[in-house]
Structure 1
Amino acid sequence: MVVHSAVPPGRNLPTHARDLVRMHEAVIGGSRPAVPPRPLVSRSWSRVLSLGLTADGMNARDSVPGDEVERRRHGSPLRHVIEDLRQVVGATSDSAHMLLVVTDADGIILWREGSSAVRRKADTLGFVEGSEWTESRVGTNAIGTALAEAAPIELLAGEHFEQNQHPWYCTASPIHDPRTGELLGVIDVSGPALTLHPAIGALVETGKRLAESELWRTHRQRLERLRQMAEPVLASGPALVVDEDGWVAHSVGVSAGERIAAPQAGQVVAVPGLGACLPEPIADGWLVRPADTARTVRLDLDLTPAPLLSLRAGDTGWRRPITRRHAEILVRLEKAGRDGLSAVALSHALYGDAEHLVTVRAEVSRLRRLLGAIVDTRPYRLAEGVRMTVHAGQ
């Protein structure tokens, strides 16, 4: 998805910015504006107004302390790409008027880069490291609205809900983990409203793609190092070596796809083609070998108000609660059989439309972290050798 410009083609930037401020005054004042707000702005304002936020001034800010910011930075995969993002924005001729901000998935600002002048202006808004920049805290803004809409957003002047943000533009795009589809955070470029350039959206999109590409490259490098280290251990199969998230670095005697369920010490993991396996920790990953001669994996899904999933392969297995959404996905996949479901079809099945592809992919990713290769992709379906029985419950 690309960032759509906040300035319509052919419109003069200063004139349009003034019109947007008048639009804000009219809508908040209860009258009809000459320029109606864009649909995404209307949706956001409706959400913000329902939360009781005020438009005339600055709502109370919420932030986390410095040690929590450091903890979140250390735990974020985006720490590996922040220097690259700095270079992308710093290489532009207008970088002195820009503020680069990177948040985590909660909208907490973890990194902020820019000239001292633009940072001082941002300070007056509470647009600082550690601050939570979600719609529920600061109203309509590119970061919070990108999180709420699960899409790239550009806002200008009066499209911001708070009047104190009207002197600004902001352009933001969510960044996802290319391995799992999980939301990692948001990249945002902001600056004085009248310095907005048509290329800002492309700059943010470039930064987002660079981040996701670099994360994927780093992931492949880690798997290759794990493969080289573990190759002597896999002299005889069948067996797999996987990383801490279940991504397959090397396999002998079995084709298990790209990923299995994330291993945990002492817990049986089911791998189609291998059956029940007991992972053994090695260096930065796990050695996965069969714990039983049975190769068929059997699932029992009990649709109680709190769904329970049981897994059995031979004499070993486990039983654990799963979310109702994951239970519904499994039921849909079981009904689809070997034909499976595309992301679009699963979105229609779960939500009644094709507008929830990001949500669907994230939910399936979380389910695959639990079950691994038991759920195939392209299309989504239960893997070969997996049998599932659904019990309707009460």
Structure 2
Amino acid sequence: MAGWSAVAPGTDLSRHARVLSRVHDAVIAGSPPPVPPRRVVERSWSRVLRLGLDPDRPRARDPLPLEAVEARRRDSALALVVDELRRVLGSVADASHFLVVVTDADGVVLWREGSAGTRLRADTLGFAEGATWTEAAVGTNAIGTALAEASPVQLFSAEHFEAAQHAWYCSAAPIHSPVTGELLGVVDVSGPALTLHPAIGALVETSVLLAESRLRRRHEERLDRLRRTADPLLATVRGPLLLVDDDGWVAHRSGVAAGPRVAVPRAGRVMTVAGLGLCTPEPFAEGWLVRPRGQREPVRAELDLTGPPVLRVGGGAGSWQAALTRRQAEVLVLVARAGPAGLGAAALSRGLFGDDAHVVAARAEVSRLRRVAGDLVVTAPYRLAEGVALDVTGPAGLTRPGGPPATALSPGPATADGGS
């Protein structure tokens, strides 16, 4: 059985449920429990109690309207694999009286399969399409706790925070993109508590592996299809270029040592690619050809701080500009001032926040900047792309909240000539 299981093989489920009920009541009352709750449960109950939730008064579920659910389904990468999950798990769910639920990364239930009787019981809990099953919304539950813990979670009976959920077990595991590592959602199997079977955990793990394997295969198939479509054209084209899909994943490279992904191309807008300089993306089939606009002259960029921060790139008809937030402007200057050696996440955290404790926030700020600036800024380490020259103009004018002026934002040129 999975190492994250709630119940050891051979356990008397009825007796264990009674013990957990006494544990739950004692903890909620602030009394010593007869046995300590599992650590994952204890952590979750602590989070939920800090939120002020009442186990005897469930919050209203307020599910999203059907059109909002359908929009989330269309936007979810899990839509590519949900039919396969249905085929694998749906027939088992009908025969075994449990539900198979798939949520998005926000904990919103997008799909639900199972026997009619079990679905009706779940409806009384608000466990239906469009409902949000995070800890903040419904207390300790496998979906919300798996999201909070970033790991698989199985809960049995009174390990749930809300008393109304004590008649259930639930086993949930996050699904990540096998390409980007991004959290896509959660697969959950739930059913009447006293029907919990030791194989449930393994079933959930198998379904996640199936989904992630199929997502990787679909990604590879899409790139292969793009390469096949482009083969006749690529045989006649000379010079450095990239062939990328609509998400910026590189299907083919020629004359350039590009990474596996570049910024997402946009029609009618030049982009900067390390090693190619300023490029014009050309729509092609299900992707884009990305080629230099001309000679590989340095890409000139200006960060204008005379008012609200504005980034201007290139010149003439191929130029573009974008507004930046104050934080994005500060990240850009810190990265540029670091030169070709660049900055690691810890160093950037120190530059932005004054300590090493905000590495995750620093990485997130770079991601937000790259959504605007594209490959002007490259990663590992963070630095300006090869051939990019940045001028900073205007007064510093930006301050950190509650702190002194951000000295990194003083005017002056900053350039990068490549290197790592």
TM range (shorter): 0.7 to 0.9
Structure 1 residue 365: deviation in Å? 6.4
Partner in structure 2 of residue 393 of structure 1: 409
Shift of 1:81: 0.7
Q: Deviations over 1:87-132 (max 9, x none)?
A: 3324659951321000112221111111122212211111111212
Of stretches 180-189 and 10-19 in structure 1, the one that deviates more from structure 2 is 10-19
Deviation per residue, 1:139-191 (Å, 9 max, x gap): 11111122222222111111111000011111111212223332221111111
Q: What letter matches 1:255 in structure 2?
A: A
- Give the whole-Å Cα distance in 1 for the aligned partners of 2:389 and 2:288: 27
Which of residues 276, 279, 289 is equivalent to 2:278? Answer: 276
CA contact (8 A) 2:327 2:365 kept: no
* Equivalences for residues 301-312 of structure 1 within 5 A: 310=311, 312=313
Which has the larger Rg?
A: 2
The 1:296/1:197 distance shift into structure 2, 3 A limit, reads farther
Corresponding residue number in structure 1 for 2:401: none
| Root-mean-square deviation over aligned CA pairs | 3.8
Find the counterpart in structure 2 of residue 258 from structure 1. 260
**Is it true that 1:286 corresponds to 2:288 in the alignment?**
yes
Aligned twin of 1:230: 230
**Deviation sequence 1:256-296 (CA, Å, 0-9, x none):** 12111001122221101110112122232222111242355
Give how far 1:367 is off: 6.1
Cα distance in 1 between the residues matched to 2:384 and 2:366: 14
- Whether contact under 8 Å (1:334, 1:388) holds in the other structure is no
1:321 to 298, 321, 324: 324
| TM-aligned CA deviation for residue 78 of structure 1 | 1.0
1:14 alignment partner in structure 2? 14
CA distance in 2, matches of 1:96, 1:172: 17
Q: Identify unmatched segments of 5+ residues in structure 2.
A: 393-406, 411-420
| 1:187–1:204 Cα contact (<8 Å) kept | yes
Once the two structures are TM-superposed, the CA of residue 329 in structure 1 deviates from its matched residue by 9.7
User: Does the CA-based 8 Å contact 1:268-1:318 persist in structure 2?
Assistant: no
2:48 and 2:135 in contact (8 A); partners too? yes
Indicate how the Cα distance of structure 1 residues 312 and 325 shifts in structure 2: closer, same or farther if over 3 A, else same: closer
In the alignment, is the contact (CA less than 8 A) between 1:260 and 1:369 conserved in 2? Answer: no
Equivalent residues in 2 for 1:34-45, closer than 5 Å: 34-45=34-45
Residue identity opposite 2:409 in structure 1:
G
TM-score by length of structure 2 reads: 0.78
- Number of residue pairs the alignment of both structures matches: 388
User: What is aligned with 1:168?
Assistant: 168
* Distance (Å, rounded) in 1 between the aligned partners of 2:137 and 2:54: 11
- Percent identical residues: 54
3-state SS of the aligned residue for 1:242? strand
Select between 64-73 and 104-113 the one with higher mean Cα deviation.
64-73
> What SS class does the counterpart of residue 121 from structure 2 fall into?
helix
Shift of 1:23: 1.0
User: 1:385 corresponds to which letter in structure 2?
Assistant: E
Matched, 1:107 2:107: yes
* More displaced 10-residue stretch of structure 1: 249-258 or 344-353: 344-353
Indicate the SS of the match to 1:255.
Answer: coil
Match of 1:144 in 2: 144
- Provide structure 1 residue ranges, at least 5 long, that are not aligned to the other structure: none
What residue in structure 2 maps to residue 201 of structure 1? 201
**TM-score, with length taken from structure 1:** 0.82
Q: Distance in 1 between matches of 2:92 and 2:331?
A: 47
Matched, 1:242 2:244: yes
Is residue 220 of structure 2 the alignment partner of residue 220 of structure 1? Answer: yes
Matched residue SS, 1:278: strand
**Structure 2 counterpart of 1:237, which letter?**
G
Q: What SS is found at the alignment partner of 1:79?
A: helix
d(CA) in 1 for partners of 2:342, 2:314: 24
> Which whole-Å CA distance do the structure 2 matches of 1:332 and 1:361 have between them?
12
Structure 1 equivalent of residue 400 of structure 2: none
Does the aligned pair in 2 maintain the 1:275–1:294 contact within 8 Å?
yes
Q: Letter of the 2:33 partner, please give it.
A: P
- Residue pair 2:244, 2:289 contacting (<8 A) in 1 also: yes
Taking the aligned partners of 2:223 and 2:281, their CA distance within structure 1 comes to: 17
Q: Answer yes or no: is the 8 Å Cα contact 2:85–2:207 preserved in 1.
A: yes
Report the CA distance shift for 1:382/1:372 in structure 2 as closer, same or farther (over 3 A).
same
After TM superposition, give the deviation of residue 312 of structure 1 in Å: 4.5
Question: 1:53 — aligned with what?
Answer: 53
Task: Please give the alpha-carbon distance, in whole angstroms, between the structure 2 residues aligned to 1:213 and 1:110.
Answer: 21
- The one-character-per-residue Cα deviations of 1:165-219 (angstroms, maximum 9, x if unpaired) are 0111111112122233322211111111122233322221221121112111111
Q: Do 1:109 and 1:130's aligned partners in 2 also have CA atoms closer than 8 Å? A: yes
Tell me if structure 2 keeps the 8 A contact 1:299–1:386: no
1:64 to partner: Cα distance:
1.1
Range with greater deviation from structure 2 (308-317 or 63-72): 308-317
Mapped to 2, the partners of 1:301 and 1:210 lie a distance apart of 46
- C-alpha displacement at 1:317, in angstroms? 5.5
SS in structure 2 of the partner of residue 256 of structure 1: coil
**Maintained 8 Å contact 1:59/1:137:** yes
Counterpart AA for 2:223: L
Matched letter for residue 14 of structure 2:
P
- Residue 353 of structure 1, CA deviation: 7.4
AA in 1 matched with 2:324: P
Bigger shift: 265-274 or 171-180? 171-180
Offset, 1:25: 0.6
Q: Alpha carbons of 1:322 and 1:153: their partners in 2 closer, same or farther (altered >3 Å)? A: farther
Give the conservation status (yes or no) of the 8 Å contact 2:6–2:156: yes
Letter in 1 for 2:99: L
The answer as to 2:86 corresponding to 1:86 is yes
